[in-house]
Structure 1
Amino acid sequence: MIGAPSVRLRPLLALRLALREMRGGLKGFYIFLACIALGTAAIAGVNSLSQSITATIASQGQELLAGDIRFELNNRVATTEERAYLDGLGTVAVSAGLRSMARLPDGSNQALVELKAVDAAYPLYGTLESQPDRPLHDLIARDGDVFGAVVAPLLLDRLDVKVGDEILLGNARVRIAGTITREPDALSDGFGFAPRLMVSDEALAATGLVQTGSLVEHTYKVKLADPAGVAAVRTEAEKSQPAAGWSIRTSGNAAPALTANITRFSQFLTLVGLTALIVGGVGVANAVRAYLDAKRSVIATFKCLGAPAALVAMIYLAQILMIALIGIVIGLVLGALIPFVAAQFLADLLPISTAFHLYPGALGLAALFGVLTALTFAILPLGRARAIPATALFRQQGFDPSGFPAWPYLLGAVACLAALAGLAIFTAYDRYISLVFLGAIAFAFIVLRAVALAIAWLARRSPRVNSPALRLAIGNIHRPGALTSSVVLSLGLGLALLVTLALIDGNLRRELTGSMAERAPNFFFVDIQGSEIEGFRSVLNQAIPKGKVIEVPMLRGRITAFNGEDVNSRNVPPAGQWVLRGDRGITYAKNKPENSTLSEGAWWPADYSGEPLVSFSSEEAGELGLKIGDTVTVNVLGRNITAKIANFRNVEWESLSINFVMVFSPNTFAGAPHAWLATVIDPSATPEEEAAVLKAVTNAYPTITSVRVKDALDIVNGLLGQLATAIRAAAAVALVASVLVLAGALAAGNRARVHDAVVLKTLGATRVTLIKAFSYEYAILGLATAVFALFAGGIAAWFVVNRIMTLPSSFLPDVAIVTVVAALVMTVGIGLAGTWRILGQKAAPVLREL
Structure 2
Amino acid sequence: MASATAYAARRLRRGWRSGELVVLALALAVAVSAVSAVNLFTERVRAALEAQTGEALGGDLLFRSRKPLPDTLVAPSSGVRSVDTASFATVVFAGEASVLASIKAVGEGYPLRGSLRIADEPFGPAREAAGIPPPGEAWADARLWQELRLQPGTAVQTGASELRVTRVLENEPDRGNGFADLAPRLMINAADLPATQLVGPGSRVEYVRLFAGPPAALAPLLEAEPPENVRRLRPQEARREIRNSLDRAGQFLDVAILAATLLACAAVALSARQYGEKLRDEIALLKTLGARQAFLGRALVAQLLLLGTVGSLLGAAVGYGVQAGIAALLTDLLQLSLPPAPLWPLLAAAALGLLMLLGFAAPPLLAARRTPPLRVFQRVETGSGGARAIWLAALATAAALLWLATGDPKMAMAVLGGSAAALLALAGLAWLLVLALSPLKRAVGMSWRFGLGNVARRRRATVAQVAALGLALMALLLVSVVREDLLVSWQEKLPENTPNQFLINIQSDQVEPLRRFFTERGHGEIELWPMARGRLVALNGAAVTADSFDDPETQRWINRDFNLSWGTALNEDNRIIEGEWWGESGAGQPWLSAEDYAIERLGLKLGDTMTLDFAGEAVTLTVTNFRTVGWDSFKPNFFLLTTPGALSDAVPKQWLSSFRLAPENRALLRELVAQFPNITVLDIEAMLQQVRGIVERIVTAVEFIFLFTLAAGLCVLLAAIEGTRAERVRETALLRALGARAGLIVRGLIAEYAVLGALAGLVAAIAAQTVAWVLAEQVFRIPYGPRPLLWLIGTLLGACVVAVLGWISLRPTLNTPPKTVLQQA
Query: What TM-score does the superposition give when structure 1 sets the normalisation length?
Result: 0.68
Inter-CA distance 715–44: structure 2 relative to 1 (3 Å threshold): same
Shift of 1:321: 1.3
- The within-5 A match list for 1:3-14 is 11-14=1-4
Inter-CA distance 411–457: structure 2 relative to 1 (3 Å threshold): closer
Residue 608 (structure 2) aligned to one of 621, 625, 630: 630
Would you say the 8 A contact 1:18–1:316 is kept in 2?
yes
Shift of 1:66: 7.0
- The within-5 A match list for 1:668-683 is 676-679=655-658
Following the alignment from structure 1 to structure 2, what is the Cα–Cα distance between the partners of residues 749 and 468?
Answer: 22
Residue 810 (structure 2) aligned to one of 835, 838, 842: 835
- Give the secondary structure class of the aligned counterpart of 1:494: helix
- The within-5 A match list for 1:55-134 is 65=59, 69-70=63-64, 93-94=85-86, 119-121=105-107
Deviations 1:55-102, CA, capped at 9 Å, x for gaps: 8979x999975775125xxxxxxxxxx6x67799999513699xxxxx
Deviations 1:376-401, CA, capped at 9 Å, x for gaps: 112232233211133414643xx957
- Give the secondary structure class of the aligned counterpart of 1:440: helix
Shift of 1:322: 0.7
Shift of 1:542: 1.0
- Give the secondary structure class of the aligned counterpart of 2:443: coil
Would you say the 8 A contact 1:92–1:222 is kept in 2?
yes
Query: What corresponds to 1:436 in structure 2?
Result: 414
- The within-5 A match list for 1:172-251 is 201-202=187-188, 220-222=207-209, 236=229, 248-250=231-233
Inter-CA distance 462–599: structure 2 relative to 1 (3 Å threshold): same
1:701 has 2:673 as partner: yes
Query: What corresponds to 1:801 in structure 2?
Result: 776
Following the alignment from structure 1 to structure 2, what is the Cα–Cα distance between the partners of residues 586 and 469?
Answer: 74
Deviations 1:106-145, CA, capped at 9 Å, x for gaps: xxxxxxxxxx9952336589588999xxxx9974436999
Shift of 1:599: 1.9
Following the alignment from structure 2 to structure 1, what is the Cα–Cα distance between the partners of residues 602 and 771?
Answer: 26
Flag structure 2 segments of 5+ consecutive residues without an equivalent.
74-82, 90-101, 118-127, 142-147, 154-164, 179-183, 191-204, 212-219, 675-679
Would you say the 8 A contact 1:300–1:391 is kept in 2?
yes
Inter-CA distance 600–379: structure 2 relative to 1 (3 Å threshold): same
Following the alignment from structure 1 to structure 2, what is the Cα–Cα distance between the partners of residues 221 and 23?
Answer: 64
Following the alignment from structure 2 to structure 1, what is the Cα–Cα distance between the partners of residues 432 and 383?
Answer: 17
1:647 has 2:624 as partner: yes
Please say which of residues 535-544 and 732-741 is displaced more in the overlay: 732-741
- The within-5 A match list for 1:591-606 is 592-593=568-569, 599=580
- The within-5 A match list for 1:445-464 is 445-462=423-440, 464=442
User: 1:443 is aligned with what amino acid?
Assistant: A
Query: What corresponds to 2:21 in structure 1?
Result: 29
Inter-CA distance 314–144: structure 2 relative to 1 (3 Å threshold): closer
Query: What corresponds to 2:92 in structure 1?
Result: none
Inter-CA distance 806–787: structure 2 relative to 1 (3 Å threshold): same
Following the alignment from structure 1 to structure 2, what is the Cα–Cα distance between the partners of residues 259 and 368?
Answer: 31
User: 2:350 is aligned with what amino acid?
Assistant: A
Query: What corresponds to 1:663 in structure 2?
Result: 641
Deviations 1:575-609, CA, capped at 9 Å, x for gaps: xx9x99999983334x534769992669999889x
Would you say the 8 A contact 1:53–1:353 is kept in 2?
yes
Shift of 1:178: 15
Please say which of residues 367-376 and 347-356 is displaced more in the overlay: 347-356
Following the alignment from structure 1 to structure 2, what is the Cα–Cα distance between the partners of residues 126 and 583?
Answer: 29
Would you say the 8 A contact 1:539–1:697 is kept in 2?
no
Shift of 1:327: 1.6
1:768 has 2:743 as partner: yes
Following the alignment from structure 1 to structure 2, what is the Cα–Cα distance between the partners of residues 583 and 143?
Answer: 34
Inter-CA distance 469–38: structure 2 relative to 1 (3 Å threshold): closer
Following the alignment from structure 1 to structure 2, what is the Cα–Cα distance between the partners of residues 333 and 722?
Answer: 28
RMSD of Structure 2 on Structure 1 (CA): 5.9
Inter-CA distance 846–336: structure 2 relative to 1 (3 Å threshold): closer
Inter-CA distance 768–423: structure 2 relative to 1 (3 Å threshold): closer
Residue 372 (structure 2) aligned to one of 386, 389, 409: 389
Inter-CA distance 672–126: structure 2 relative to 1 (3 Å threshold): farther
Inter-CA distance 299–506: structure 2 relative to 1 (3 Å threshold): closer
Following the alignment from structure 2 to structure 1, what is the Cα–Cα distance between the partners of residues 323 and 168?
Answer: 33
Inter-CA distance 436–675: structure 2 relative to 1 (3 Å threshold): same
Deviations 1:318-341, CA, capped at 9 Å, x for gaps: 122111111212233355567866
Inter-CA distance 278–139: structure 2 relative to 1 (3 Å threshold): closer
Following the alignment from structure 1 to structure 2, what is the Cα–Cα distance between the partners of residues 516 and 320?
Answer: 50
Query: What corresponds to 1:369 in structure 2?
Result: 352
Following the alignment from structure 1 to structure 2, what is the Cα–Cα distance between the partners of residues 760 and 696?
Answer: 83
Inter-CA distance 625–38: structure 2 relative to 1 (3 Å threshold): farther
Inter-CA distance 199–818: structure 2 relative to 1 (3 Å threshold): farther
Following the alignment from structure 1 to structure 2, what is the Cα–Cα distance between the partners of residues 488 and 283?
Answer: 12
Deviations 1:803-828, CA, capped at 9 Å, x for gaps: 55554423346645654443233211
Query: What corresponds to 1:358 in structure 2?
Result: 343
Flag structure 1 segments of 5+ consecutive residues without an equivalent.
1-10, 72-81, 98-115, 150-168, 193-197, 205-217, 238-247, 682-688
Query: What corresponds to 2:120 in structure 1?
Result: none
Would you say the 8 A contact 1:273–1:730 is kept in 2?
no
- Give the secondary structure class of the aligned counterpart of 1:403: coil
Residue 384 (structure 2) aligned to one of 403, 408, 426: 403
Following the alignment from structure 2 to structure 1, what is the Cα–Cα distance between the partners of residues 444 and 177?
Answer: 66
Inter-CA distance 356–372: structure 2 relative to 1 (3 Å threshold): closer
Residue 485 (structure 1) aligned to one of 454, 460, 463: 463
Query: What corresponds to 1:277 in structure 2?
Result: 261
1:313 has 2:297 as partner: yes
Would you say the 8 A contact 2:30–2:716 is kept in 1?
no
Deviations 1:556-585, CA, capped at 9 Å, x for gaps: 999999986999879x9xxxx9x9999998
Would you say the 8 A contact 2:249–2:698 is kept in 1?
no
Query: What TM-score does the superposition give when structure 2 sets the normalisation length?
Result: 0.69
Following the alignment from structure 1 to structure 2, what is the Cα–Cα distance between the partners of residues 12 and 777?
Answer: 45
Please say which of residues 312-321 and 433-442 is displaced more in the overlay: 433-442
Equivalent pairs: percent with the same residue?
20
Following the alignment from structure 1 to structure 2, what is the Cα–Cα distance between the partners of residues 787 and 507?
Answer: 19
Query: What corresponds to 2:197 in structure 1?
Result: none
User: 1:449 is aligned with what amino acid?
Assistant: A
Shift of 1:492: 1.5
Following the alignment from structure 1 to structure 2, what is the Cα–Cα distance between the partners of residues 385 and 30?
Answer: 19
Inter-CA distance 662–468: structure 2 relative to 1 (3 Å threshold): same
Would you say the 8 A contact 1:501–1:727 is kept in 2?
no
User: 1:842 is aligned with what amino acid?
Assistant: P
User: 2:86 is aligned with what amino acid?
Assistant: V
Deviations 1:162-221, CA, capped at 9 Å, x for gaps: xxxxxxx996659999999xx9x96x77999xxxxx9970499xxxxxxxxxxxxx9640
Shift of 1:273: 3.0
Shift of 1:493: 1.9
Shift of 1:670: 8.8
Following the alignment from structure 1 to structure 2, what is the Cα–Cα distance between the partners of residues 467 and 581?
Answer: 79
Would you say the 8 A contact 1:277–1:370 is kept in 2?
no
Would you say the 8 A contact 2:261–2:402 is kept in 1?
no
Following the alignment from structure 1 to structure 2, what is the Cα–Cα distance between the partners of residues 584 and 346?
Answer: 45
Shift of 1:829: 0.8
Would you say the 8 A contact 1:70–1:220 is kept in 2?
yes
- Give the secondary structure class of the aligned counterpart of 1:462: helix
